[in-house]
Amino acid sequence: MTGAPAQSAVRLRLDLSYDGSAFHGWARQPGLRTVQQTVEDALCRVLALSAAPRLTVAGRTDAGVHARGQVAHLDVPAGSWAQAAGMAARRMGRLLPADVRMHAIDSVPDAFDARFSALWRRYSYRVCDDPAGADPLRRHETLSYSRLLDLGRMNEAAACCIGEHDFAAFCRRREGATTVRELLRLAWARPERGVAVATVVADAFCHNMVRSLTGALLAVGDGSKPASWLAGVLAARVRDPAVRVVPPHGLCLEEIGYPAAADFAARAGLTRRVRPGPGGCGGS
């Protein structure tokens, strides 16, 4: 007698945003409130699963880091999704706390991988250098900086980082993971008076990379370091004690880009070959 046939599975993509202020980061940690556990527990109820599912996320954010464009995927029994699909988004909206929102949930091809299929990730870092201090309504997403910043100098210094480099000087090393990344954009602008915002885009980020680059550029912007200093730090490929890792609350994962569906598998395969080992796609 043969056993019952295995139940077919369906892959789902989730689009999420969250205020990271009250979370101990994305990843599950025993006894701590995390985004992953919060979303997985809600999914368990909505999809009527016997145990909480495990999400694969595009960018594992640290404690205090926010997201507007986070993406994750999971595999669930096809029957569970068929029963829940019509009301899943609405039910998740009722179950999730106010500091997490799920904007979309839908089935995707099995080849889609939220982490490895990504082409690029875009982060922002928001700084207020107005002597009056940050807008109190945006204080949870803005770093208050006590010195005025020269964005021209900062953008001049940032130019040396564009392209593929070993960013070991700006990363916390993880065993088995490379620190080589392709930085597609690193630029500062003033969207409003007294506020400077960095836009940082790369194929992926290693741990602390965005916050370390931001700290180095703030030192250039306030005149503590010359614009040429950053190129020397990058070339040295070792952590420089003068590079400060800025606080997490100014950082936000804004958007993640993916190829056309037909290219999901090829992109995932390429990323796995280029960046083996754990922790390759965080950005905090």
The answer on 251 and 195 residing in a single domain is yes
Question: Euclidean distance between the first and final Cα of the chain, in Å?
Answer: 53
The answer on 149 and 179 residing in a single domain is yes
Per cent of the chain over pLDDT 70 is 94
Q: What is the DSSP string of the chain?
A: -PPPPPPPEEEEEEEEEE-GGGSS-SS--TTS--HHHHHHHHHHHHTT-SS----EESS-PPTT-EEEEEEEEEEEEHHHHHHHGGGHHHHHHHHS-TTEEEEEEEEE-TT--TTTT-SEEEEEEEEE--TT---GGGGGG-EE-SS---HHHHHHHHGGG-EEEE-GGGS---TT---EEEEEEEEEEEEETTEEEEEEEES---TTHHHHHHHHHHHHHTTSS-TTHHHHHHHHTS--TT-----GGGEEEEEEE---GGGHHHHHHHHHHHS-SSSTT---
Per-residue pLDDT, 281: 53
The answer on 124 and 233 residing in a single domain is yes
Return the sign of the alpha-carbon dihedral for residues 239, 243, 249, 251.
negative
The answer on 125 and 100 residing in a single domain is no
Domain boundaries, position 185: 120-261
Please say if the pLDDT value at position 3 is more than 80: no
Within a domain: 266: no
Per-residue pLDDT, 273: 82
- Residues 24-54 pLDDT 10s: 999 999 999 999 999 999 999 999 999 999 9
Domain boundary residue among 79, 108, 137? Answer: 108
Within a domain: 276: no
What whole-number distance in Å separates Cα of residue 226 and Cα of residue 219? 8
The answer on 254 and 140 residing in a single domain is yes
The answer for residues whose C-beta is within 8 angstroms of residue 220's C-beta and 6 or more apart is 153, 154, 157, 226, 227, 229, 230
- Catalytic option among 15, 19, 41, 62: 62
Within a domain: 240: yes
β-bridge pairing 66-77 and 251-257? parallel
Per-residue pLDDT, 283: 63
The model's confidence at residue 277, banded by pLDDT at 50, 70 and 90, is very low
- Residues 148-169 pLDDT 10s: 999 999 999 999 999 999 999 9
Higher pLDDT, 239 or 122: 122
Within a domain: 268: no
Please say if the pLDDT value at position 2 is more than 50: no
Could you give the C-alpha distances from 272 to 92, 158, 163, 183, in angstroms and in order? 32, 28, 20, 18
The answer on 34 and 156 residing in a single domain is no
The answer on 256 and 135 residing in a single domain is yes
Within a domain: 279: no
Within a domain: 284: no
The answer on 151 and 78 residing in a single domain is no
Within a domain: 224: yes
- Residues 155-205 pLDDT 10s: 999 999 999 999 999 998 777 778 999 999 999 999 999 999 999 999 999
CATH number for the domain that contains residue 60: 3.30.70.580
Per-residue pLDDT, 6: 56
CATH number for the domain that contains residue 176: 3.30.70.660
The answer on 138 and 235 residing in a single domain is yes
The answer on 224 and 196 residing in a single domain is yes
Total structural domains in the chain?
2
Please say if the pLDDT value at position 129 is more than 60: yes
Mean pLDDT (the chain, rounded): 93
Per-residue pLDDT, 279: 44
What whole-number distance in Å separates Cα of residue 10 and Cα of residue 257? 22
Within a domain: 246: yes
Is 91:105 a contact under the CB 8 Å cutoff?
no
Please say if the pLDDT value at position 105 is more than 50: yes
Residue 110 is a catalytic residue: no
Q: What is the mean pLDDT of residues 214-218?
A: 98
